[in-house]
Amino acid sequence: MAFDAEPSTLVELCLWQANQRGEALAVWDEATGLSYRELARRSASLAAALRENGVRAGDRVVLCGRNSVAWVEVAFATLFAGATLVPIGYGAPEAERARVVERVGPRLVVAVPGEGWPSAPTVLAPEELDSRRVAARPPHLPAADDVAVILSTSGTTGEPKLVPMTHGQLARCYGEVARRLQLRADDRLLGAVPLAHSFGLNGVLLIGLHAGAAIRLVPHYRAEGLSELVRGQRLTVIVGPPTIFFDLAAGDGKPVPGCRMAITGGADVSLRRMRQACSRAGIERMFVGYGLTETCGTVAVGEVPERGVGDLAKLTPLRDLEVQIVDEQGRPLPTGAEGRIWVRGHNVMPGYLHQEEATRRVLRGDGWLDTADIGRRYADGDLSIASRARDVVIVSGFNVYPREVEHVLVEHGSVAQAVVLGLPDERQGQRLVACLVPASGAVLDTRELLAYCRERLAAFKVPRTMITFESLPTTETGKISRPAVRRLLRQESRSAVRCCRGD
């Protein structure tokens, strides 16, 4: 099937690349691989099987499984059938799965049976669905404003919510992102981030498909053997949270030939450490993205230079996307001032699914989305992110952005990870507590860390308490979960070292 213009839906994207890239490799895992033409053909035949099982245009299909070629087939088969894909993370607890099923009302669940799927009318294993393939029919061609995917927010700051994303939003957004990153058809991407989340589905799979590149899907991420995987599979682009790059750099200590680009995201990124890790791995180009599930995953993208790296990345917003910085009352602030980031444009959600009150808390008049992030806009239009508004700690009347303190802590050679939280304090209102994970083989010296922080931070920004942990809880995409860290802190029974600041 030929198209006169770039694809405006995900179905058109799959068919367009089948025509453009043909027998070129599209996706592969440790067991099998599919060319672009095979992906379109097999998705069409599987879509016919979905129709035979009662799935119709507009229905919803829940998909739960690890990253694999079969996962991608089921995902595109759902879209080819005109239905909406609802991915759920493989490790999601039964209560979360039950909540999603109740809210979306799926026609079918494709997952491993027997894992607890209440209220689901039918549950099929991927292998059983595959055995029911029938002759392919012409795919249902959705409209650009039809909902393609419903994704859960990551849950790093609270209970996950469900966000509908249309075909047009995703096709437009990730076509631009792929071009902005200058991805090539001969690139081979690492697909270790779970596809059930925006970072994996949109930030790995869709940008790779838009570029006509190949994606190596990894069902079980393991730090050990990562260097061998990247070398053996001749991967050129690594996409994922900072942990992946630190693991790659710490592998065998040798550069990875041919690996040319690193793509990461989130305000938690320590740019200097990331740059150091990329240099050790021999990766020349490093990009940072910023976005929320509520914006289809991306608001802005920027390249981090090899030299002169500061604490905050300068990011360029997507085309035709409006970004403004406002105060707490929603009044626009001048260029260079720090405030709340509001976004309006083609990739902003219309609202959470069946959660009107939550929607009203974030969507303002005239379509503006309050991201709840703190940042600033520069004269050239670029954007930098300082913190999440809800993470700000007020110490003796002064605002402290935890990520600023965290970036200082992880620059110290003995600290691998740091999360800074505020706890109630009778004297200061709140006091800063640093939850730290030591670097491999390091022993944390809190007095030395205190002196290090005092040299680099104002006195009110220096944590009064430091607690060492073996690891910190993360979400499925590898982001540190602040609510889980706060719960861990409340439960912590080991002795904390109270750091006297001498005030």
Q: Please count the CA atoms within 13 angstroms of the CA of 454 that sit on its side-chain side.
A: 12
Looking at the structure, do residues 291 and 398 belong to the same domain, yes or no? no
Q: Return the CATH number at 255.
A: 3.40.50.12780
Looking at the structure, do residues 369 and 402 belong to the same domain, yes or no? no
In a domain, 194, yes or no: no
**Which pair of tokens denotes residue 476?**
């499925």
Burial class of 10 by CB neighbour count within 10 A (0 to 12, 13 to 18, 19+): buried
In a domain, 256, yes or no: yes
Which of 149, 167, 185 is at the close of a domain? 167
Which of 150, 167, 184 is at the close of a domain? 167
Looking at the structure, do residues 334 and 245 belong to the same domain, yes or no? yes
Looking at the structure, do residues 383 and 488 belong to the same domain, yes or no? no
Residue type, 312: L
Q: Return the CATH number at 113.
A: 3.40.50.980
In a domain, 192, yes or no: no
Looking at the structure, do residues 333 and 401 belong to the same domain, yes or no? no
In a domain, 134, yes or no: yes
- Beta strands 214-217; 25-28: pairing state: parallel
Looking at the structure, do residues 360 and 430 belong to the same domain, yes or no? no
Number of domains present in the structure of the chain: 3
Looking at the structure, do residues 268 and 306 belong to the same domain, yes or no? yes
Q: What is the span of the domain harbouring residue 289?
A: 222-390
DSSP tally for the chain: helices H, then strands E: 15, 25
User: Tens of pLDDT along the chain (503 residues)?
Assistant: 445 568 999 999 999 999 999 999 999 999 999 999 999 999 999 999 999 999 999 999 999 999 999 999 999 999 999 999 999 988 787 878 888 998 999 999 999 766 667 666 788 888 888 888 888 788 889 999 999 999 998 654 456 799 999 999 999 999 999 999 999 999 999 999 999 999 999 999 999 999 999 999 999 988 888 999 999 999 999 999 888 888 888 877 788 889 999 999 865 566 777 888 898 899 999 999 999 999 999 999 999 887 655 667 889 999 999 999 999 889 999 999 989 999 999 999 999 999 999 999 999 878 999 998 889 999 999 998 887 777 888 887 677 888 889 988 988 889 988 999 988 877 777 889 999 999 888 888 888 999 999 988 888 899 988 998 888 888 777 778 888 888 887 776 444 444 443 34
Q: How would DSSP label each residue in 38-58?
A: HHHHHHHHHHHHHHHTT--TT
DSSP H/E element including 60: strand 60-64
In a domain, 252, yes or no: yes
pTM, full prediction: 0.84
Rounded CA-CA distance 437/450 in Å is: 16
In a domain, 210, yes or no: no
Looking at the structure, do residues 308 and 362 belong to the same domain, yes or no? yes
Q: Return the CATH number at 410.
A: 3.30.300.30
Looking at the structure, do residues 401 and 367 belong to the same domain, yes or no? no
**Which pair of tokens denotes residue 322?**
């409006």
Which of 390, 407, 432 is at the close of a domain? 390
Looking at the structure, do residues 49 and 163 belong to the same domain, yes or no? yes
In a domain, 214, yes or no: no
In a domain, 494, yes or no: yes
Looking at the structure, do residues 263 and 323 belong to the same domain, yes or no? yes
Looking at the structure, do residues 141 and 17 belong to the same domain, yes or no? yes
